Structure 1
């Protein structure tokens, strides 16, 4: 069974899909670790229990028979097929050797036990230490990020800048820990192909040589042994060349993580916080968002840390995006969007100012409209247009809105209200807007009138 590949570029995003793929590798590592322990235990039993030699060989044979190598990718090379099938071949050989009831060689422990113990302690043990550091740095970063995003924008600029620097520092530390962990877990995944098989192969060769095997059995084993050794050497050579490429890619990823976007990926993706209204008040909910510019499709996946919580991904079609004015909300890095699937405005919070610019650029976001000072003459003209606007709003309500449920309570979209006011008070053609048109619903009209009179 093949696992999906881990990319260094995924370390920067730290998406839920990346965590799921990483978990597959961790489970495989645990399975390999358990398998090595079983092989060591059974090998020692085989060496020390001469009287129960027959039983020990059968148990060891069953352990080898039950293990299956997992490789990255959909297809296997000839060498990988040979390695994947090697334990089954070994198991069959052990069963045939059992008929001869041969003796265990004295140096079997040096050939089999010690290399596997060294691999488990040095390679797998080191990988687990990397995992601990990765989890510790991740917990520290996200904890600091949550506190950072709750900082009020009204704090002193020096305090905000210092907080930004601290978050960036922890983000960098977590990113490096993630890269090192992904690099190490893939190194173990590749190196186990020969680091596990070679000791077993050496042990079997010694076993067959020193246990009075028949010439026929030895001759039958030699061609397979040579073929497997060639496959192992090819795999080792491939590992050495791939390791250099991984080190170079890791180095380039450290220098410019955002430039390593893979084909087929969304235009932009990452974590955003969404302002949502609950029975007890307003809450900010964390989502992992993916946006495709061509289709204007925004996918929002809730990130829920509580076990057993129901999660549902929403696919939304973007209509409009505008930066949130700084003085309109007590949060930093915010912007508003409208979608076809949800009524009203959705307020989103990015992770930083630079992150907000990236999201707005991808979504073709607009800047909020600021009204410049006007002259007395322009003010008089606007007042006339304003009277006309009030009359038109009243006529629209009396004509098509008087029977609408909640006509004065249902709130219109802020973006639609702003669009109506901008269109009506356009200096080029003031008042040239037909409120009876179906483009303007009654809640937009009433909300616009309230906003103007206020």
Structure 2
């Protein structure tokens, strides 16, 4: 039941029922007043919370914007560049969103708080003042009436007539005040329907505007999100393969640490303890020493391994001689003496072990304290491990190698022939890559083309990359190029069965990239440089799929690339069936004729294209090429 209506005629009767109805209106106004006070309080708290949230999100965005990714290696892949700038993209989106939130917060006080406070003070406050006046007039009227009715009828007529007039005036004023109060109470009850609710609607409209801005921002961000999703997927795939390589190197280092010490441009470096006399007391001080063989310069630096702090300046001198200390000549082990050209006296040093002392003495052409010399040869490095572990029949492997290596017969070798089993081919490749001094891209050959590779890595246009890799490959010696062509044909066949053997073009690039472009030394840095190798070895034509996704392979280095735009534009003689298809993987377009999409995307009007291995479909009104093995029909 709603509130009962207050009739103006009841003001003259002023019955108990009228008073009850009036009291119900007064209670409702008091309830509304308390509710609005709490709402204003909660609204201010909400606005403050939004301000705090906005401040925190802006601080978060600033932190994202200030951080810069540093990738391992000299060259960055397109995926790494995309990921590196992702934090700045995130920060830009958050800051843009917070700018809109700030506008909403600034308007919230004007559209919500101020109107509610004004309604409470001007309308409900006026009703309260009217009630005070009404109660006061009620009390005055009742008092005057009671006093008037207590007058004696024996008083003079003039006196009684005057008293009657006075009561009539008070009664009339009471009725006027009652009418005004009833009018005000009902007016406030009606006003609250719009003056109370309208500010809330305006505030919600501001929220909707803010959320709509976020929706539009998300639509604009969708393209970058698609690219970033693909780049993250590609980077994760490369991480798994790179991690296995690094882990393998780590295990080698654990098993044979002395045989896998990294080769430094300096002849020898490491920690040595130097005997020094301080205050007539002999003490041993730990230095980090670097010796250069060519100028015969020794540099010494005080360095605390525990704190990681350098103490003092570096000291250097030119070596004159180095002699091993006999065990019975000093109480310390692993010692040797050196003399300097530009420093007086003999410097006694202690190595970390007998092997360490031997290495230092070999580097400095050290002498033995006895008449004869000991010569021990230190060999570092192990033969590279083969890529495939499938073992073929040795006679068949040797036959394939002899045919492939013979200039007269190498052109006739067909790896696709049923004559050669897969284990024979893989064993031949393993043997060739392990033991041939000159591989497809030997160290000397590859790095003689370093300038071309650096140009290649800077190219963003796929067609330009293909042209550059064509140039590099055809500058190879004929023998290397023929062997590389045989290898590429074999890898193309392996990749064509990637759904069974999981050897996608990307995986083959990860496996063969560091082998074909073998580094000078086996280090983590060389392994991490696999990105550059991948971009060379898995280079593809614009019509070919991305090298980091499970598409069909393309090896453009021995043939001219085709144009997908021309291929897709040629009309088919038979109208193909139109179907829907769902994306199984994410894909980033590398050409205007291709479509970018994420896993789960639904394509319309999907039909075969003139380009082998590709379909043509429509997404968001745009028609383009889709990798055939990326989708399933629905």
On whether the aligned pair clears a TM of 0.5, the verdict is: no
TM-score (norm. length: structure 2): 0.31
The structure that has the greater radius of gyration is: 2
TM-score (norm. length: structure 1): 0.42
